[in-house]
Amino acid sequence: MNEEQARAVAEAAGGETWQSGGNIWLVLCRRSDGKLVVLSDEAVSLYENDKAFEDNRTTQTIGLH
């Protein structure tokens, strides 16, 4: 998604925008249990924590296409 889309999704979901490079924008939503939900235009992914996100170790991913 582009920056404008990411900002709109972040506002609706209560998350924050993050640019992964190459003009690819994600929305990060931190849960109260420390897990991280990451939204893109292709998938919703769950990570155990920020470190798992940095290491690209997903717990679960749901494709949107």
pTM: 0.91
Please provide residue 35's backbone torsions phi and psi, each rounded to the nearest 5 degrees.
Answer: -75, 160
Which structural domain range is residue 15 located in? 3-63
Distance between CA atoms of residues 51 and 2, nearest Å: 25
Distance between CA atoms of residues 33 and 40, nearest Å: 21
pLDDT at position 22, please?
85
Residue 14: which H helix or E strand, with range?
none
Q: Indicate the number of domains in the chain.
A: 1
Residue 5: which H helix or E strand, with range?
helix 3-13
pLDDT at position 13, please?
96
Would you tell me how many other CB atoms lie within 10 Å of the CB of residue 9?
A: 19
pLDDT at position 18, please?
97
Sites in the chain below the pLDDT cut of 70: none
